[in-house]
Amino acid sequence: MQPKIKSKVRCTDREVGEITRVIVDPLSKEISHIVVRTGGGERLIATDQNVSACTEEGIELSFPSAALSRFEPFRREEYVQVKEVEIPHLERHLDVIPGEALVPIPDLEKNIARRTFLQRFTNVIGLVLSLPLLYPAFKYIIHPMYRPLDNTWIKMGRAEQFRELDVPRLVKFPKTVKEGFLEREYEKSHWAMKASPEMLEKIYQDRETEFKDQDGKVIWENNKESDIVVFSGKCPHLGCAFRWRKHKRFGQSFVCPCHLSVFDPAGILMDGPSPRPLDILPVKLSGKGDIEIIDAEFKAGKEERIRIV
């Protein structure tokens, strides 16, 4: 039998509480830990070492109640619900309430800041050692960093493509970039939506969204007069591509599959590690019905919106 939610938990000397959650090993697809609610809070207990019996009546632990304090407190922020993670054939192994079954978040995902720091530190050391040899090339490479921001309006699509209100669509379009003396064309994509008045109110909240150049001068203002809204195709957390999909908890939402940030149709953050809402791009409609944007990009991982392109 498997441990079940609400099952009574008994130590060798007395009953101590009940099971509130179970932890699933994503590799073995078996329950690896139980979370027990006791008078002192919630404790995380490994099943393979500490459960002596599992019956319809409840769980029996192999130690006295006084030993509960040696188990670490349960930290909810270190886990994600099973129903939000795709684990093949998990249903064949589990017989518990999906919303109360959790999977540990991988250590690499929990330590992104540390991993990024070590990676950058290694890169800096390599750069310092090779700088005397690479100085001419380095000078040529960093020159484009000091170019003015590109405020060119480019055609993204046609307004007539969007008939249904408040339903985002992924729009792909070609973009030409000049790098030094060379030009190359590549495909980009952003999310565009024809927004209802209610959705525009939620997005702009009675104020225009300003876009500035590198000198702080306002070059464009989005407002509620235009019903076309364009979100950058990059998640503000770490720049990953996100999707429009039905989320079991929040309904139709923008979901980043890399680190589980979730945004509502207005781009507002509802769950996950993203430090800010989705980035809105400058957008206007031409007289011919074309959707035109300034293809701006913003620095990932920051609460404030800092334009970098």
**pLDDT of 113:** 59
C-beta separation of 252 from 265 below 8 A: yes
pLDDT recorded at residue 206 = 73
Could you give the 3-state DSSP secondary structure of residue 205? coil
**What pLDDT score does 178 carry?**
72
Q: What is the largest CA-CA distance in the chain?
A: 80
Among residues 106, 179, 109, 174, the alpha carbon closest in space to that of 140 is found at 179
pLDDT of residue 107: 66
pLDDT at 228: 93
Tokens at 284, concatenated: 């206007």
Contact 5, 84 (CB under 8 A): no
Q: Where are the alpha helices (DSSP H) in the chain?
A: 47-50, 107-110, 112-142, 197-204
Backbone angles phi, psi at 102, to 5 degrees: -120, 155
pLDDT given for residue 126 in this prediction: 82
| Residues in CB range of 289: below 8 A, 6 or more apart | 158, 159, 160
| pLDDT tens digit at each of 309 positions of the chain | 678 888 899 999 999 999 999 988 888 888 889 999 998 799 999 998 899 999 888 999 999 999 998 999 998 888 888 776 667 666 666 766 656 788 887 765 555 555 566 677 788 888 788 777 776 666 666 655 556 788 889 999 898 889 899 999 999 998 887 765 677 888 899 999 999 999 999 998 877 788 888 777 888 888 777 889 999 999 999 999 999 999 889 999 999 988 999 999 999 999 999 999 999 999 999 888 899 999 999 999 999 988 888
Taking the C-alpha atoms of residue 53 and residue 50, their distance in angstroms, rounded to an integer, is 9
Q: What is the pTM of this model?
A: 0.53
